[in-house]
């Protein structure tokens, strides 16, 4: 069993939070602390990270522009930590410059299966995903809506359509898995789909398809005439 957060050292807490909550939940100081790994000179890693941010007037862009020699002027930052920071900042800069891949275009249910099959077919729990599409049927965004037993209380239209509206999507495809290995739509699957189709009609944001993946098989509501 993992130790409670309160029992962890200052050096371990940012890593524990990243593991349990994910990187987006951490502050910039906590992310820097994870990168640095350990404190030094009687200061915790979080204190060293906070000093770095403070000396850059709170600006990550300004911090990233500092040369190695300047980084090492911060107490607790030696050559190894300074090099680690410089490498991370350079990776971030290269990522920002990298061209985004051409979005996947959905022409048929098999295209949806190609995106999700490897991730969903062997799961032991159900996951419900959304694909927001533009007018050319290219994928604008993919969202995990819920994980667990599929029912109408969990898959609320608000949670499905909010990201699609934010992307100015032209339409939506939803997809989930059946851990049982049988892709046959259940009564609850049909009820959820009817609810989403009705909401989509009100929002002028149509549900193009609902694809159920189970092992190496799948069912498309659109192909089966169930929408």
Burial readout 65-101 (b: 16 or more C-beta within 10 A, e: otherwise): ebeeeebbebebbeeebbeebeeebeeeeeeeeeeee
Q: Give residue 10's pLDDT band: very low, low, confident or very high (50, 70, 90).
A: low
The H or E element spanning position 60 is: helix 60-64
In words, the CATH class of domain 109-220 is alpha beta
Mean pLDDT confidence for 102-126: 88
Q: Is pLDDT above 60 for 207?
A: yes
pTM tops 0.75:
no
How is residue 9 annotated by DSSP? -
Q: Please list, in sequence order, all residues whose beta carbon lies within 8 angstroms of the beta carbon of residue 79, skipping any fewer than 6 positions away.
A: 68, 72
Q: What is the pLDDT of residues 29-53, one digit of tens each?
A: 999 999 999 998 888 999 999 999 9
How is residue 213 annotated by DSSP? E
DSSP helix/strand/coil, 177: strand
Q: Which residue in 218, 184, 200 sits closest to 116, CA to CA?
A: 218
Residue 121: the pLDDT is 84
């Amino acid at each position: 069993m993992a130790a409670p957060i309160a029992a962890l050292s200052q050096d371990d807490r940012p890593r524990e939070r990243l593991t349990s909550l994910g990187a987006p939940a951490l502050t910039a100081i906590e992310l820097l602390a994870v990168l640095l790994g350990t404190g030094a000179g009687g200061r915790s890693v979080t204190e060293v990270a906070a000093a770095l941010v403070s000396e850059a007037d709170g600006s990550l862009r300004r911090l990233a522009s500092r040369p190695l020699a300047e980084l090492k002027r911060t107490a607790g930052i030696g050559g190894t930590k300074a090099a680690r920071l410089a490498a991370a900042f350079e990776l971030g800069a290269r990522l920002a410059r990298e061209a985004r891949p051409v979005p996947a275009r959905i022409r048929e249910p098999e295209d949806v299966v190609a995106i999700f099959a490897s991730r969903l077919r062997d799961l032991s729990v159900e996951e419900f995903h959304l694909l927001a599409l533009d007018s050319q049927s290219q994928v604008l965004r993919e969202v995990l809506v819920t994980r667990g037993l599929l029912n109408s209380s969990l898959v609320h239209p608000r949670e499905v359509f909010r990201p699609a509206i934010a992307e100015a999507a032209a339409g939506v495809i939803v997809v989930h898995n059946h851990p049982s290995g049988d892709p046959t739509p259940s009564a609850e699957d049909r009820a959820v789909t009817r609810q989403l189709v009705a909401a989509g009609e009100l929002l002028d944001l149509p549900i193009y398809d609902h694809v159920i993946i189970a092992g190496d098989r799948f069912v498309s509501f659109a192909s089966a005439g169930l929408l």
